[in-house]
Structure 1
Amino acid sequence: MLKAKVLGNEKLRKRLDEIAPLATKYAADEKLNIAQEAANLMADRAPISNGPTAGDYAASIEGDKISNRPQAKAMVGTQASKDPDAAGIFAGWIWHFLEFGTKPHNVAKGGGTVLGKKQTAANGARMHPGTKAQPHIFPTWRAMRAEAKKRINAAVLRGVKEAMKK
């Protein structure tokens, strides 16, 4: 019979570093590679607008370590992480509007309030027609998540195997 003891992320990381120090390094490298690869795939699938800023949003999608961007908010993997090697996908602020779309809404000053709606209705409201959802972030991540887990596990295993040979 095989028994396992759950240690928690920090204790597991410390124990793994004692046994196989290269496992953490290989896993960190693989996490960053996966984030960059995912960002490139998402940028390829990102909607491109017509006009002077065409392609700016797609160019803003990048994969990086979360610790390198303390002020930025990651798109995928935004939960607070104690993992110093955690990686995420970062992009321009409009990603959420593109991914999920918007409903028709009043864009006049004060148009979102009851008084603003009455005033703009009397003066000819300026309505934004809304946008259709153009999912490109989460479908891409869902498609590669299982492979990403396999790659990280393989990197850890490679580090453990190297430690066992010594």
Structure 2
Amino acid sequence: MIIGRERLNQRINDMAPNVERYAAQAKMAAGTELAEAIRQLAPRGATLEYAESIDADLLASRPAQEQVGTSKTKDPSAVGIFAEFIWRFLEFGTAPHNTAKGGGTVAGKKQAAAGGGNMHPGTAAQPHVFTTYRAMKPRIKRKIMAAVSRGVREAMKK
């Protein structure tokens, strides 16, 4: 029999009431640890503004902020990593483009050839978000599973 997420969570909470609380704490701790690791590897400019903007928070706490790399979740304790919008330009790099309006388009390149705007050489990728996440993913999973096991063990002792 297939049951929905809400029903499954309800059944787990009925059997082991502390599982969700422990899992939420573990998710937040893992998210904070991941944000700190990403912050350490982030490219540093003159102001350190970008690196300092990297933070972990509940997805539910930031509904207006664009979520990249995730789909909508029904998990109220889901944690995400948030940073300034330039993270994707740093993570993946940029192609050469004209700085005039519409410079990344064919029309913009024609403008550049005609003498309008300046050509930006582009930037090399400086991966720091997804590489760090992939490296830490097994540890994050272990931490969350340990919290779930702790809640189940407590429920079994009662």
Give the structure-2-normalised TM-score.
0.92
Tell me the equivalent position of 1:153.
145
Q: Distance in 2 between matches of 1:73 and 1:125?
A: 31
| Structure 2 unaligned residues grouped into runs of 5+ | none
Aligned to 2:123: 131
Q: Specify the alignment match of 1:100 in structure 2.
A: 92
CA contact (8 A) 1:74 1:89 kept: no
Aligned mates of 2:96, 2:12 — CA distance in 1: 52
The alpha carbon displacement at 1:45 in A equals 0.3
8 A contact 2:97–2:109 mirrored in 1: no
> How many residues were matched structurally?
158
* Residue number among 74, 84, 87 corresponding to 2:76 in the alignment: 84
Partner of 1:109: 101
Comparing 56-65 and 106-115, the one that deviates more: 106-115
Question: Is the 8 Å Cα contact of residues 102 and 133 (structure 1) preserved in structure 2?
Answer: yes
| C-alpha spacing 1:115/1:99, structure 2 compared with 1 (3 Å) | closer
Residues 66, 86 of structure 1: 8 Å contact kept: yes
CA RMSD of aligned residues (A): 1.6
Deviations 1:96-132 (A, max 9, x none): 0100101111111233344443333212541111001
Q: Residue 56 of structure 2 aligns to a residue in which SS?
A: strand
**TM-score, L = length of structure 1:** 0.88
Amino acid at match of 1:35: G
Aligned-residue identity in percent: 52
Quick check: 1:37 aligned with 2:30? Answer: no
CA–CA separation in structure 2 for the residues paired with 1:111 and 1:96: 19
Aligned equivalents of 2:66 and 2:71: distance in 1? 10
Whether the 8 Å CA contact 1:31–1:87 is kept in 2: the answer is yes
